[in-house]
Amino acid sequence: MFLSKHHLTGNFGIAPEIAAFYVDKKVPEGNLYWKGKLLYLRHNPGYLFIPLFCDLLYRIGVPLEQLISDPFVALFEDVLHSAAREEFGETDEKAHLAYCYEKAKGHGGNTRWLELMDNHFVRQNAALPYQPEAVALRRADAFLFALNALAIPEGKEELVCKYWFALISFFLLMDDIDDYAKDKRENDQNTLLEWGDDKTAVEKVNRLLEEDILVLNEINPKLSAYCTDLVEKFEITGKLAAIAAS
């Protein structure tokens, strides 16, 4: 489904400049993340999160021109290409993270942010602020390497993580609920399965969805309302009840 600039600004509250840039952007050649895709943006969380998160960063205070700049875009496209390579079995997680770290070091000079990435991903001696309990909810976090190309206002690093995890964990939980049966059959990563595949797991997932929506409402009420509508549209309450009863 084609996403227009008007749709992004009107329905999600995304800044017009960010909406225009990503709607008009061409698919990067040879990038596995966009393999077979004709449009840069799709009405799919795996692509929609890009302008949504950029808008959250803009609201936090990251300069607008950096969020639509070649260095930042090139870096996160490299990260997503590497993520797709891992998904397709062309590399493993360790090599993927090492690649992303080296790419991040070569873009920009946000030493505070790079140190945060180094401590978490490379040295593995510190959790990220607001990091979810479930490992399954951290499977998209390599994207954060790309933020080394941005001038994150000093002292706002925790806010960046707070809104990143609220946005991404919401989308990943929706995906885990939708793919529950398949993931269980194939023993794939899924928050419900990781948390015990029982009524307690369902309660925790439902509670986290609600918390994510409340956090997003702090910074972008339109985005929060969209997430609430998704929960209703895809009958998430009923699906979770069925999982709890299974």
pTM: 0.97
Say whether 49 sits in a helix, a strand or coil: helix
Domain that holds residue 182: 5-245
**Alpha carbons 92 and 144: distance in angstroms, whole number:** 18
196: region left, alpha or beta (phi > 0 left; psi from -120 to 50 alpha): left
Can you give the pLDDT of all 246 residues of the chain as single tens digits? 679 999 999 999 999 999 999 999 999 999 999 999 999 999 999 999 999 999 999 999 999 999 999 999 999 999 999 999 999 999 999 999 999 999 999 886 789 999 999 999 999 999 999 999 999 999 999 999 999 999 999 999 999 999 999 999 999 999 999 999 999 999 999 999 999 999 999 999 999 999 999 999 999 999 999 999 999 999 999 999 999 999
**Alpha carbons 13 and 38: distance in angstroms, whole number:** 25
With vertex at residue 22, the alpha carbon angle to CA 190 and CA 79, rounded to the nearest 5 degrees, is 50
**Alpha carbons 85 and 127: distance in angstroms, whole number:** 25
pLDDT of residue 108: 67
Say whether 7 sits in a helix, a strand or coil: helix
Say whether 211 sits in a helix, a strand or coil: helix
Q: How many domains does the chain have?
A: 1
